[in-house]
Amino acid sequence: MAFFFLPLSQISLAAEGPELHRYWPRFPRPEIVLRVPFQGDHEEGMVFETAAGLAARELLAGRGNLLLCEDSENTAYQRWFRMMQAVVKPQVQGPVSTWEAVGRLRDLGIIQGAILYRYDRHDRPWHETGKIDESANVATSLASLLNAVAVSERLRPRAEELGLKVLLDVRDKTEAECLREYGDHFTRRLLMTADPKSRVARTMAVATGAFVVSQPGKVYDAALARCRGDSPILGWGCGGEAKQTLPSSQWGLFQTATNWCHNLPLLSTETPGESIPTKSVKSPRHNLSLSDIEWETRVHYVTFIMSDGDNVQWLMGNFCGGTEGRWYYESGARGRFAFGWTFPYVSLAQLCPYALIDLFSKASSRDDFVLYGTGYLYPDHFGSQREGDCLRLHASRMAEYMRLGGLKTVAYNLQDWDSEEALDAYGTLLYEVPFLEGIFTVQYYPYSAGEGRVLWIKGPEGHIPVVSCRLCIWAQTGRPHDTTPAGVAKWINSYPRGGPQWSENHFTFVMPHCWSRFRDTHGDASITAEEEGVVQDKDVPGVYRGLMPVAWAVDRLDEDIRVVTPTEFLMQMRLRLRTRQTLASLAADLEEERGTDPDAAESLAKAKRLIQDLKDGSDDGKKVFDLLKRIKRTAPGSVR
């Protein structure tokens, strides 16, 4: 049987412009969007995903004009659809059933048959290892090569009613056999990992001609090795987190946790800075500078930064809508105190820029945003299994997105946060992203391994802090620095206040674990009451997660504890602990701004003389800092 293969040259998966690198394809705007109801049945869903992927593939190759769209009850996805309509202005048709949509694509010649697979019915939890029937992943991998939809044994009669012949039976074919026989036909710029039980997000794999693998092992390693360095992994596979993420990092790929993403081709038609206005995807705090902060003494600085922001499917869905948004960006506690949200800016800018627009337009003056790399990767291992400097490539591409978004801070998860490999990685990041205020780090296990220590790494513009996590709001781990909101508050209230001499002990970075649930004890001072007996896998009345437990901790802090945003935290740290370097840099910037202004020149000369006698960490720097701020305020055109 002769199969049709779409030449990879016709798929512009990662076309690069002069600045922004696209990890994900930019799909042409469709003229028609055909709506299909939400697919709760995963076997029916496999048909939908592969059919939608074939339609997207045709559009990407310049031959089609329509995309399929799955309706959603999630309020976030409803917003993205409305925003997409306003920009793309397609003709929206339907809703029609999945099989009606398949029939239409068959009539257009986009679907030419079916691939028969066996749905995995083994008794194992989702995304866990065990007995796995891989044939659904094989069918997905081959769908774009055969112009065929993946059809399970149960649905074979329905496909045949539509006149779809079985072009290939893969019920007994393994992923290893698939890669060995067809490997040359799969893209090397994207890999998908997926539980064969789950149909979600396969549209993008089919549209791009990606290979799909279920779990770590020899096939996974071979699939990683054949991909280009600094490429994304679509979805999420089976097995332990570290067993998935460490090999991918070593081969220079990054995880995106896109396994519950819907309608990705439809939401990927735009590019920020081109069809999406730059100002709408720029952090609302991008203009914050040293001159905007205050010099206080006898205080302790703390910043809270939410975990798991490298999770694309979460940020696109239940983070800001659906059944769980109330715990996170829709929380009633948001805006009550300074807070940092980690997020996958790079992937969202390509896969769903509407989510960025929504986040930034709704941000309060106390919301700050920290880029969680380009996704889930360990910088201390990134690309160690291949030639070339993958991390440098990753960082240079990331820098352009950070400039676009006005982002100044980045967070990473590392296997060993202060190892020699980690130190080299920090140096690479700083040289490629010289405008960084600093780097926040957690260690894979435990997050708080660094216990708040700070490493000062030399970059092209001086030494920059790499700050380790000191405490976590994390339930029921038994680890000493993972504790309840009450426990975190007690720790912080016991820490020293800064001045006249400052040290890293006057700064605390806390990471709330986004999934941990705690009971509202209404201010009970007990350290353990908020977590005792709380079931962690379901929501019940009186139990909260996300932002509200952080609010309980903040409410318990002493008056001289200053809760600040991550960006301000790093600015204060640089100002207090690298005082001479930071004030000299501020003076140089002001000198460039003021030009030949004689009054400013005299004041700046005085400031420079004072800086020479300063000692890092001394409160004596306040006099110079206040002088430089006055120069800034009195400059022509400054806002007073």
For residue range 385-418, list pLDDT tens digits in order.
Answer: 999 999 999 999 999 999 999 999 999 999 999 9
Ramachandran class of 522: left when φ > 0, alpha when ψ lies in -120 to 50, beta otherwise: left
Phi, psi of 91 (to 5 degrees): -85, 115
CA 140/CA 138 separation, integer angstroms = 5
Distances (CA, A) of 575 to 290, 462, 610, 620: 8, 12, 15, 12
Residue-level pLDDT at 17: 37
Instruction: State the sign of the Cα–Cα–Cα–Cα dihedral 236, 237, 239, 244.
Output: negative
Q: Omega of the bond prior to 446 within 30 degrees of 0, cis?
A: yes
Residue 535 has pLDDT above 80, yes or no: yes
Q: Omega of the bond prior to 284 within 30 degrees of 0, cis?
A: no
CA 216/CA 238 separation, integer angstroms = 8
Structure tokens at 400: 């352009």
Residue-level pLDDT at 275: 93
Ramachandran class of 186: left when φ > 0, alpha when ψ lies in -120 to 50, beta otherwise: beta
**What's the whole-number mean pLDDT along residues 280-285?**
96
How far from each other are the two terminal CA atoms of the chain, in whole angstroms? 77
Residue 5 has pLDDT above 90, yes or no: no
Least confident of 9-18, 128-137, 306-315: 9-18
pLDDT grade for 599, boundaries at 50, 70 and 90? confident
From 55, 263, 2, 48, select the one nearest 150 (Cα to Cα): 48
Residue 636 has pLDDT above 80, yes or no: no
**What's the whole-number mean pLDDT along residues 519-524?**
92
From 68, 197, 191, 106, select the one nearest 141 (Cα to Cα): 191
> Please, where are the H alpha helices in 133-234?
135-146, 156-161, 175-182, 202-208, 218-226
**What's the whole-number mean pLDDT along residues 117-139?**
95
Domain ranges for the chain, please list them.
17-267, 278-576, 578-633
Residue 588 has pLDDT above 60, yes or no: yes
Residue-level pLDDT at 307: 98
Radius of gyration of the chain (CA): 26
pLDDT grade for 635, boundaries at 50, 70 and 90? low
Residue 109 has pLDDT above 50, yes or no: yes
Is-above-0.85 flag for pTM?
yes
Arithmetic mean of pLDDT over the chain? 94
Residue 637 has pLDDT above 60, yes or no: no
pLDDT grade for 638, boundaries at 50, 70 and 90? low
Contacts of residue 37, Cβ cutoff 8 Å, sequence gap at least 6: 70, 71, 95, 97
Structure tokens at 169: 């039976």
Residue 258 has pLDDT above 70, yes or no: yes
pLDDT grade for 292, boundaries at 50, 70 and 90? very high
CA 454/CA 439 separation, integer angstroms = 10
Residue 512 has pLDDT above 90, yes or no: yes
Residue 53 has pLDDT above 70, yes or no: yes
pLDDT grade for 632, boundaries at 50, 70 and 90? confident
Higher per-residue confidence, 461 vs 456: 456
Residue-level pLDDT at 1: 37
From 361, 357, 329, select the one nearest 345 (Cα to Cα): 357
What is the widest separation between alpha-carbon atoms in the chain? 87
Residue 379 has pLDDT above 50, yes or no: yes
Task: Classify 471 as helix, strand or coil.
Answer: strand
Higher per-residue confidence, 61 vs 639: 61
Contact 108, 188 (CB under 8 A): no
Burial class (CB in 10 A: 0-12, 13-18, 19+), 78: middle
Residue-level pLDDT at 10: 40
Structure tokens at 354: 């509407």
Residue-level pLDDT at 596: 59
Out of 3.20.20.490, 1.10.15.40, 3.40.50.300, 1.10.940.10, select the CATH number for domain 278-576. Answer: 3.20.20.490
Residue 420 has pLDDT above 80, yes or no: yes
Contact 456, 254 (CB under 8 A): no
**What's the whole-number mean pLDDT along residues 426-437?**
97
Residue 13 has pLDDT above 50, yes or no: no
Contact 310, 376 (CB under 8 A): yes
Residue-level pLDDT at 15: 39
